[in-house]
Structure formats: C-alpha cells, structure tokens
Amino acid sequence: MQLGRDFLRALKQITQERNLPLEVISSGLEAALVSAYRKYRGGNQNVEVYVALESGEISINEVRQIVEEVSDPDTELTLEDAARLGFNDLEVGDIVRVEVEPEKFGRIAAQTARQVIIQRLKDAERQIIYEEFSDKIGDLINGVVFKSEDEQVLVRLNDRTEAILPREERIVGESYALGSRMKFYLVEVRQTTRGPKIIVSRSHPGLLRRLLELEIPEVREGTIEIKEIVRESGVRAKVAVSTLDQNVDPVGACIGSGGARIKSISKELGGERIDVVVWSSDPLAFIRNALSPARVLKVEPVLEQERSVQVFVRPDHLSLAIGKAGQNVRLAARLTKWKIDIKVLEPEKLPTLQDLFDELVNPEEAES
C-alpha cells in the first residue's frame, strides 16, 4: 500500500518547518492504522503495521498462530490454511505474519494518516514548547503584548508560543498596550489538554533579581550577593545585598555612577523606587539599614514579644522612616522579618544664652 506523493511531500515540508522528526509521526500513524484496520475488518485481529514515510510504503500483517483446530479465525490458522498461503515446514504453535492489502483500505489509511499526522504535529509542538519553557522557569524572558483586556493580558514569546499575564502578576497601574515589548519573569509552565499553559509575571521579586543580575556585573559574577528582595510592585522595593570583597561597596555598585544602574532597572519596572541596603547577620543592624533612607538613632528589642523591636528616630526623620502610606516601614519589616514600631526620640534640649543669663540674674528661680 502506498501513500500519495503529494501527501508525503506536504508531510516532509511540515515536519521540516516545525523541526519535528518523521519518527514522531510514523509511530503514531502505525498505532492509528492498527485501530483503523481492526474497525475496517470488524474483528479483533492481531495486527502489525509498518510505515516507511521516506518511501510512503505501508505494510500490514495479520499475526496468526498455527493450531490444529481454529477457534478464533481472527488470530489462528491451521497447517493446511497456512500451506495454501505459502507457509510450509510449520508446526502447531508457530507464529506467522500474513501480509494483507485490502482493496478499499487505502482510502481509509490515507484519511487516518492525515488525522493522525495533524494530531501528532500538535502534540509534538506542545511537547517541544513545554520542554523549552519548563527549563526556563525562574528566568527573565522577553515578550510582546498582543492582547490586552481587563481580565486577560496575553504575551507573545515567539512565533508559536504565548503566555498569560494574570491580574495578580501585573504591576498595579502599569499599561499593557498592544505591541508593548517588555521583560517578564517566568513563573510556571503547566501541561493541559489544550497544550502548555505558561504564566509570566511583572510583580514577582524574581523579576527584580534577574534585572539586577542583567544590569550589574558584580551581581551577575557573584561578587555581590542578593540576600533578600521585597516589592510593592510599581511603587517601591527593597534589596538587601552583601559582599565578601572588602574592596567593593555593594550598595554603591548596585546604584552605579550617578544612580545610572538602578535608574535603568527602575525605568524597566515603570518607575518603581528601589532601595538598596546592606545586609547584616546582626538583626538590629540589619533593621537599622533596612529603614534607609531614614536615619535611625536607636533600635531596642521588645523583650516580651518575639522578633519585635522599637526603632527611635528624630522628629524630622519620622515621615522618612514610615514612608508614604507606611511603605518604608512595611517593606523593612518584610525584608528583615521583624515587627518594627517607629518611635520619635526628642533630642535633649541644650541651654540657650538667655537661659544662662536668667540663671545668673535669678539664681533662686533657676534652682526652683
């Protein structure tokens, strides 16, 4: 039996365009033709099908066992019947393969082949996409927004792959205009009956981590280690960094000359403000650093509460320590994993010249 030349030419072109091996097609086609042949014959034959896609040849064999008396005509032959088919020198119990070529099965075979090939191409493409992107979970990827509605933002990753940007993974207030090219963090790749479901994020802390690695050579090379990142995406983030190299200022290296490095990352995140602070193994020192840019006068643990501190600042640094709508202290608490209570510490009042003069003139009042 032969598949048509036009059919084979089209098949080879498709597999080449989609970089799919012919073996992927042939194995599925053979299994489908076995099923199609059994339906065509209306029995339960033991069938073997071999497809040579290079030549288009299809061979179909019914596998029969030699028996003294046939009880199942679909799977058995007597010695006499086998001899009439050209099989000689056999014994009861032997297995023979009888090649068959039904006249009307060619059309069914071609139709089955088309259906199987279409499905196999879909399955193979889905598997290739799944394998390609499941290895990239946690990586930075580029994409172009091609659909943007209230409930759904879809991102084109390449010619045949799209991803979903769920509402909870978006930066609040960020615009996702059609055709916008952006960087995304690959969160999840999940197999479904309709193919791989790829989830990307713009709000994940991992996105900021990958952008820091991309922009800052010292982070990428491991000279500077990112210890912790917390974000209120689109608004503010805090990054704790450390280094074992005494010649490297981890904060200065991340910020860059004139703030160039951190500004570039902030721009990619829609203007998100990024505080870079020095990590410390001393929790009280780390809390002091985490509240940057506020200047902290004193940090005291609250003994009756676990992982809780009171932080004292000058009155003019109270708003800095708390931050707009409490962002600074909230992010510092998440970064350090300590509860932080901000207190104002009034500076001790120094005596003025007028106070000294009054004390000299009225010593009794001063003593009272």
Say whether pLDDT at 314 is over 70.
yes
d(CA 325, CA 334): 15
- Domain boundary (146, 170, 201) is at 201
In a domain, 284, yes or no: no
Q: Which residues contact 40 (CB under 8 A, 6 or more apart)?
A: 102, 104, 105, 108
Is the confidence at residue 187, as pLDDT, over 90?
A: yes
- pLDDT band per the 50, 70, 90 thresholds, residue 36: confident
Give the model confidence (pLDDT) of 97-114 as tens digits.
988 876 667 677 667 767
Q: Tens digit of pLDDT for each residue in 263-290?
A: 999 999 999 999 999 999 999 999 999 9
Domain assignment of residue 163, yes or no: yes
Does residue 242 lie in a domain region? yes
Mean pLDDT to the nearest integer, 193-212: 95
Q: What is the pLDDT of residues 348-358, one digit of tens each?
A: 655 566 666 66
Asked if residue 141 and residue 128 are part of one domain, the reply reads no
Helix (H, G, I), strand (E, B) or coil at 241: strand
Domain count, the chain: 4
Residue 149 carries which side chain, given as an amino acid letter?
Answer: E
DSSP 109-167: HHHHHHHHHHHHHHHHHHHHHHHHHHTTTTSEEEEEEEEE-SS-EEEEEETTEEEE--G
- CATH no. for residue 155? 2.40.50.140
Residue 10 and residue 107 in one domain: yes
Q: Which domain holds residue 298?
A: 289-368
Residue 194 and residue 151 share a domain: yes
In a domain, 112, yes or no: yes
**168 in a structural domain:** yes
For the residues 233-254, what does the mean pLDDT come to? 96
Q: For residue 203, give the amino acid letter.
A: S
Q: Domain containing 65 — which CATH number?
A: 3.30.1480.10
* 127 and 147 part of one domain: no
Q: What is the pLDDT of residue 38?
A: 81
248 plus 264 within the same structural domain: yes
Compute the chain's Rg from CA coordinates: 37
Verify that 175 and 74 share a domain, yes or no.
no
- Residue 263 falls within a domain, yes or no? yes
Q: 183 with 239, same domain?
A: no
Same domain, 96 and 178: no
Angle at 336 between CA 331 and CA 339, to 5 degrees: 75
Mark whether 256 and 358 lie in a shared domain: no
Confidence (pLDDT) at 162 = 94
Range among 8-22, 77-91, 107-121, 248-262 with highest mean pLDDT value? 248-262
Mean of pLDDT values over 112-119 = 73
Confidence (pLDDT) at 60: 85
The answer to the question of residue 270 being in a domain is yes
Q: How far apart are CA 302 and CA 288, in angstroms?
A: 15
